[in-house]
Chains A and B, each alone.
Chain A
Amino acid sequence: MNRELTRVSALVLVMFLALFTSSSIIQSVQAESLNADQRNSRTIIDSFVVERGAILVDGQPIAQSVPSNDLYNWQREYTNGGLYAAVTGYNTLDQGNTGIEGAMNAELTGTSDSQFLSEIERLLTGRDPQGAAVSTTINAAAQQAAAEGIGDFTGAAVALDPETGEILAMYSSPTFDPNQMAVHDSQLVIDYYNQLEADPAAPLQNRAIGGDLYYPGSVFKMIVASAALKTGDYTLESEFDNPAELKLPQSSSVVKNSTEGQCGPVTDDKVDLETSIVYSCNIPFAQLAAELGEDTIAAEAQAYGFGQPLEIPMGVTPSSYPSDMSEANLMLTGFGQYDVRVTPMQMAMMSASIANDGTLMKPNLIDEIVTDNLTVVSDPQPEVFANPSTPGIASTLRESMEAGVDHGYADLAQIEGATVGGKTGTAENGTDNEPYNLWFTGYAEQDGKKVAVAVVVVPEENISGQGSNEIASPIAKSIMEAVLNS
């Protein structure tokens, strides 16, 4: 019988080993993903028991936790919530987190891997747990300028430091009040959420980095021009036919310039590339797109960041350039129509790389993460995201953009004493006179200080004489001024 008993003992050992293994897997290997599960109410309640770290702009809290006398210990409060909603996102009891509140949740609650040591220290000293503060790269004056400039329009604005990729402003309109998402009454939160969801203006969309994306219109011409220069076959002096109308191949559609006439102040049979950029003419760019071909433009768009995943740390929806197009559609993409779709962030990245000699720095919203005992947990350094063009090409593109602000269709962005380059754009949304996307993207430099910006607004209705230069350029100008003056 002892032989059988030995085998039974072995079986018992195997049974227990299975239990040791399964427990270890759950409590060590899978613990992190289980804790991160949206349905895990323990994590949610925990995150309210710790003093959630603050979110800072210029050292001032825009989101912080204050003591509350209920089950959850702390109440999240947003100072100037509407102004910063696109940055902070919201922090709810059990309806999820967005923005920095979502992307940096582990750091804010003190549970990230990098905070493990301070967690141990806290265990030993018995101090109350506290999350780390997240300091953002946002420039308060620039953010304010963006919000004031956009006002009641729907739209978005992004400002970047071209040399570091720091995000100086990020605003999406209409905005919402994150304070109403943070109340400790799930039903009120759900009601407010449903109200925002039902709003046709979609205030919960962060238009700067996501949402439905925009048709870029003429601001996309800078990428087409960059592609042309990169081939080596074109310069700013390269010439194109200059008709008042261009019939698209195999199509009944006709392309016109925005003036409905020939391109440029002095009309001629030919028009050069620089004049086409400065006066934002469509016909030359339709021809250029056809000459370059779909693959060349697509590759250039990708070099500037189209189709690339990007986290700032929130995820940015990749912008897209269509593929397998007919020649007519290809020609439409030459001036940013047909199905080219972009985020304002992507357009700001384009201008930033042009202002930074062709090097695109990775956009980033996090300045540093500091624990309550002032230990710096994380201090992100500037990173190169891509090298979409060369210093030579970038300088040529700047020449044309600066001409556009000096005497072209972007002249309302001029700033006294600063070098400003820019490109406006007016993109059609569909066929029947729906409100246009009014764009400005560009950069400014003064005394070694640089800023790149992209602004898009969509008015209630199209008003003649109230185009992109009249509406978008001044908004961009005020944002750039705010950065240069700070």
Chain B
Amino acid sequence: MTNALQTGVIRLQEATQSIRVRMRNPQKVRGVEAWLLVVAWAIAGGAIMMTQLGALGAIDATVLYLAGGLGLLTLAVHIVLRFVAREADPFLLPIVTVLNGLGIAQIYSIDIANGHEGWAADSIRQVAWTALAIVAAIIVLVVIRNHRVLTRYRYLSMFAAIGLILLPMVPGVGSTINGANVWISIGTFSFQPGEIAKIFLAIFFAGYLMTARESLSVAGKRILGLRLPRMRDLGPILIVWLLCMAVLVVQGDLGTGLLYFGLFTVMIYVATGRREWIIIGMVLVVLAVGVMFTLAQTHLSEAAGLGLGRASDRIDIWLNPFDQELFEQEYGGSGQIVRGLFGMAHGGMFGTGLGLGRPAITPQAADDFIFASLGEELGLVGVFAILALFFILVTRGLRIGFRGPDDFSKLLAVGLAFVIAIQVFIVVGGVTRVIPMTGLTLPFMASGGSSLLSNWIIIALLLRLSDSIRKTQEVDA
């Protein structure tokens, strides 16, 4: 099985390599991107138009704001790339444009169902956030001309990450939304600083592991047949990670906890090549789940206002969503996930068509459950296309990891790509009952500014890394 998978991945590598050879000319790379971008605009604009046609039976100016806004913004990224990263990967931007556009179309469909218009409409806000996110991405591309400068800021990144994670706990700034105390409020806008923290964490892990990878690989004591790393090497990174996890468990945001954990385990495994890390990781997860369960049983968590009670609820919901009592439970019941499943089943193979389904029946249809909404309106066919786009996006990122000229860029690329992969897995897996439901948002698609901003910055960093690789290799050649 593993061998077959590995062969598959290697084939994929060879295939993408041959594409690369043909696109050696930087001008050609951007030309490919331009053409793909036109296709992406057609898909995104078409989707938004069909949503309006489906739901309202007519086309008006809203389409222009939504589709036009997205088109202009992504065109700006393309132009910037022509100047500052001429050899960046040409697939990333068009794929993200399609995902972002389909997300806006879906959110717009739910807006229409809920009667939201103007600034109250999530779709309009989503375009505004997209604008902000893309401006941030452009700034990253323009300011960071050489990714290696980031290694210098690895400890600064660490402190930034911890600061951002702690920020919602500062009195007066934080606010609790849907039982998770991970938001800060500025005026009418809420923001999840933890979303940005994941980028800083990836930079810190990559920078730290780059320097520490040799010593981390050195074996320490053997316990139970495992060659454990030496404690003093383990120390710093474990402390940072434990701090993050502790804070997240207290804040009741398990999805992000899982995301950090996955990121940490994968990056340290890639850096050291030691499987023990994966086993240690698994043990830690089992321990964490055990502690949560015990605490949840004692009702200590509720009394202390911790997020632990939610964890055991969610496992109940995961295993028996169709239980009548759980379905009817007003808070923390399975009504939401079951309505999401009903929505996906309603869509069936080909979907109801954009604007023609009833995704708004599911609570949080535009953010946590946008995947179910997409499943309803675009059907299994649409869902497959979306998952395939995410998969290509991630493999492009991993490919940068394979071809990276130095340890830092390899580690950072694989870290960032894996952040996207694990987000998709946690969100879609939660909605489709592969794993228990946790609160994360589908990258680029779900309604919400923090997630858009951080994921666009991730794309900007991946674009930068891919450009650096090509440049280096050209010099080598």
Q: Lowest 6 A-B CB distances belong to which pairs?
A: A34-B345, A22-B432, A10-B5, A27-B380, A31-B345, A9-B9
**Which of B178-186, B229-237, B390-398 lines the interface with chain A?**
B390-398
Interface residues in A20-42 by Cβ distance below 8 A to B read: 20, 22-28, 30-32, 34-35, 37, 39-42
Give min CB distance, B476 to chain A, whole Å: 17
Give the contacts of B347-393 with A (CB-CB under 8 A): 347-349, 357-358, 361, 375, 379-380, 383-384, 387, 390-391
Does A1 count as interface, using CB distance less than 8 angstroms? yes
Q: Which residue of A lies closest to B270 (CB)?
A: A4
Cβ-based interface call for A19 (8 A):
yes
> How many angstroms between the C-alpha atoms of A6 and B269 in the bound complex?
12
* Interchain CB contact (< 8 A) of B270 among A1, A28, A41, A43: A1
Cα distance A31–B380 in the bound complex, in angstroms: 11
In whole angstroms, how far apart are the Cα atoms of A19 and B401 in the complex?
24
A-B contact pairs, 12 of them (CB 8 A): A2-B402, A3-B273, A7-B6, A8-B418, A10-B8, A22-B428, A23-B375, A26-B375, A27-B345, A28-B380, A34-B345, A40-B342
Q: Is A201 an interface residue (CB 8 A)?
A: no
CB pair B346–A19 under 8 Å, yes or no, is no
A153 to chain B, nearest CB (A): 39
Question: Which residues 171-193 of A sit at the B interface, judged by CB distance below 8 A?
Answer: none
- Tell which of A6, A41, A43 has the most Cβ of chain B within 10 Å: A6
Which residues of A are interface residues toward B (Cβ below 8 A)? Answer: 1-16, 18-20, 22-28, 30-32, 34-35, 37, 39-43, 45-46
A6, A28, A40: the one contacting B9 at CB < 8 Å is A6
Known: A12-B418, A42-B361. A26 touches B395 (CB 8 A): no
Q: Which residues of A contact B394 (CB under 8 A)?
A: 12, 16
Q: How many residue pairs between the two chains, A and B, have CB atoms under 8 Å in the bound complex?
A: 142
Within 8 A of A (CB), among B107-147: none
Residues 329 to 345 of chain B near chain A (Cβ within 8 Å): 338-339, 341-345
A23 near B410 with CB under 8 A, answer: no
Complex-state Cα separation, A25 to B434, whole angstroms: 11
B384 touches A20 (CB 8 A): yes
With CB as the reference atom, state the residue of chain A lying closest to B267. A8
Q: Please indicate the chain B residues that have their CB under 8 angstroms from the CB of A46 in the complex.
A: 346
Q: Are B5 and A23 in contact (CB under 8 A)?
A: no
Contact indicator B327/A39 (Cβ below 8 Å): yes
B344 and A5: CB pair below 8 A? no
B433 part of interface (Cβ distance < 8 Å): yes
In the complex, chain A residues whose CB is within 8 Å of the CB of B327: 39
- Option from B343, B398, B425 in Cβ contact (under 8 Å) with A8: B398
In whole angstroms, what is the CA distance A258 to B324 when docked?
53
- Chain A residues within an 8 Å CB radius of B258: none
The answer to whether the Cβ of B18 comes within 8 Å of any Cβ in the partner chain is: no
The docked-state distance in angstroms from the alpha carbon of A12 to that of B5 is: 10
- Cα A27 to Cα B273 with chains together (Å): 39
Report the minimal beta-carbon distance from B8 to chain A, rounded to whole angstroms: 7
CB neighbours of B10 from chain A (8 A): 6
| B425 partner, pick from A3, A19, A23, A28, beta carbons under 8 A | A19
B150 in contact (CB, < 8 A): no
Tell me the bound Cα distance from A393 to B292 in angstroms: 74
**Quick check: B387 and A16 within 8 Å, CB to CB?**
yes
Judging by beta carbons under 8 Å apart, are B341 and A26 in contact?
Answer: yes
Inter-subunit contact A23/B345 (CB<8 Å) = no
B401 touches A5 (CB 8 A): yes
* Min C-beta distance of A243 to chain B, whole Å: 59
Closest partner residue, chain A, to B422 (CB atom): A15
| Contact mask for chain B residues 392-436; partner A; CB cutoff 8 A; 1 contact, 0 none | 001100100110000100100010011001101100110011100
B266 within 8 A of A: yes
Closest to A22 in B: B432
Does B2 make an interface contact (CB < 8 A)?
yes
A35 neighbours in B (Cβ, 8 Å): 342, 345-346
Q: How far is the CA of A25 from the CA of B341 in the complex (A)?
A: 11
With contacts A1-B271, A19-B428 known, what are 12 further pairs, Cβ within 8 A? A10-B5, A12-B418, A15-B421, A16-B421, A16-B424, A23-B432, A26-B375, A27-B344, A27-B375, A30-B341, A34-B341, A43-B346
- With contacts A1-B407, A4-B273, A27-B344 taken as known, whether A13 is within 8 angstroms of B432 at the C-beta atoms is no
Chain A residues whose CB sits within 8 angstroms of the CB of B9 once the complex forms:
6, 9-10, 13
Which of A11, A27, A31 is close to B383, meaning CB atoms less than 8 Å apart?
A: A27
* Cβ–Cβ < 8 Å partners of B270 in chain A: 1, 4-5, 8
Tell me the bound Cα distance from A16 to B387 in angstroms.
7
B429 x A18 contact (CB < 8 A): yes
Cβ distance A24 to chain B, nearest Cβ, rounded Å: 6
Q: Report Cα–Cα, A43/B361, bound state, in Å.
A: 12
Contact residues in A for B322 (Cβ distance below 8 Å): 37
| Shortest CB distance B54–A (Å) | 12
Closest residue of chain B to A38 (Cβ to Cβ) is: B324
CB-nearest residue of chain B to A3:
B273
Question: Knowing A5-B410, A31-B348 touch, does A22 contact B398 (C-beta < 8 A)?
Answer: no
